[in-house]
Structure 1
């Protein structure tokens, strides 16, 4: 079994992370929505007011997986939460324990930071991921739906 290393992402990882984001988008059939560049990602992860954080997994010096996350807040708990935006492991490295290791790493980080929740979304057709997450102790919330406003609708709602 190949040894993997988990570590916080650095600015030098942004090109590799964007490559993995593109692979994820192809898998999810959403590649037409990807506009992120290494420069924009670097600004959001490492700029003056970071919007998110990332952890990468390396094998043989190559970034083969990532998890991108940020802090949210639960009004009911009165505590911060950790929200996993995306987790992706390249197909050649699936089944190696990397996905589990990334989730465990982020759960430990959530505990360390005093978070009341660790949560994320999963596509309803991704049965493999749903089974994997449930095996890890996650509850898939059947009664909740994501609401999203983007582009012209966001500008209109914001008064633009």
Structure 2
């Protein structure tokens, strides 16, 4: 249930905080909101001392967030709007931008890229209402978890998220965000070549029939990184999530590495599009795996190169992924490509909320 100290539900689908006398509604953003949304985005960039030059323009917001074809939309947005009643004051005072993410170790999820409330209206329950609405979207879509990043210096936000029941993954599991940013660096990675030596293999786009072999490798990967096997997606889920009949509902794309002289698969990469207001359209590499007996033979490097090629072909400007701090071998592998540890450079904290805490937060959303 909602904490009535911070907000109350009203019949007119708005919330009222007696202390501040602020009434507002939470709703889905529309294309017509993009000019106002851009101003809020500028406000967030200034608050975080980020460059304004790399922010998307209104046309880019319309293209990636409100395209007529659902498959071309990279993100969704909910906004907080003042409830002026008589229509005199209906300005936007906050927003949350989010999109689907996917990991075979847990299944479908939701990633909140940005959350911002105009400074004049903080402490009125607006931020909590926005996060709760994203959580509701997450639960309604049968996603298992919701994640987002927060700067380590932003102690008020860190406390706010922890009070919602979220867990600091950076703190508990030391999961760091890595990435390669910029068209030149991506092109350099995409053009890397490796002598295949005695191992002959090919990298190709995965198909539905690859799912049984890929899932077996997912189980081995899950053991390697010490995660819970009970949360790994089933074979049917893996098939439906990546190769369902409705292309707009597909959660991920797949590359596989196959030996030339047999049908054996020896590695794979699972990835999908993401979106950042700093970098624009990007690609998130969720899982890259090569069977132990084929490591140190260039397979992983060529797989990374192919992922970069896919990103360039899809007009992406970044490729990012997560890696545990204890996995020094993997970190050394990534750093040879010029990857940056964003978590350390920018002091980023990864938060996640799932299970009962996620459902409890979703219950606070406006109906």
Q: CA deviation at 1:46?
A: 1.2
Q: In the alignment, what sits opposite 1:51?
A: 74
Task: Describe the superposition over 1:102-150 as per-residue Cα deviations: whole angstroms up to 9, x where unpaired.
Answer: 1111111111110011110000111000000000000111212111221
Given the superposition, is the C-alpha separation of residues 127 and 33 from structure 1 closer, same or farther in structure 2, using an over 3 Å criterion?
Answer: farther
Q: Which has the higher strand share?
A: 2
Which residues of 2 match residues 6-155 of structure 1 at below 5 A?
6-32=26-52, 34-47=54-67, 48=69, 49-59=72-82, 60-77=89-106, 79-141=107-169, 142=171, 143-151=174-182, 152-155=184-187
2:177 is paired with a residue whose SS is: coil
What is the match of residue 294 of structure 2? none
Q: How many residues align?
A: 159
Supply the RMSD in Å over aligned alpha carbons: 1.3
Contact 1:7 1:55 in 2 (8 A): yes
Deviation at 1:3, TM superposition (A): 0.7
Match of 1:2 among 15, 22, 29: 22
Q: What's the TM-score, normalizing by structure 2?
A: 0.42
Q: Which has the higher contact order (CA 8 A, sep 6+)?
A: 2
Residue 58 of structure 1 and its aligned partner are, at CA, apart by 0.5
Bigger shift: 110-119 or 24-33?
Answer: 24-33
Q: Which residue of 1 aligns with 2:256?
A: none
Off by >2 Å, runs of 4+ in structure 1: 31-35, 154-160
How many Å apart are 1:155 and its aligned residue?
3.0
Residues 78-125 of structure 1: per-residue CA shift (max 9 Å, x gap): x21010000000000100100000111111111111001111000011
Cα offset for 1:74?
Answer: 2.0
Q: Given that residues 73 and 81 in structure 1 are in contact (C-alpha distance below 8 angstroms), is that contact kept between their aligned partners in structure 2?
A: yes
SS of equivalent to 2:34: helix
Query: Partners of 2:146 and 2:154 in 1: how far apart?
Result: 20
Contact 2:110 2:143 survives alignment (8 Å):
yes
Q: TM-score, normalised by structure 1?
A: 0.94
1:35 Cα shift?
2.9
Q: Which residue of 1 aligns with 2:188?
A: 156
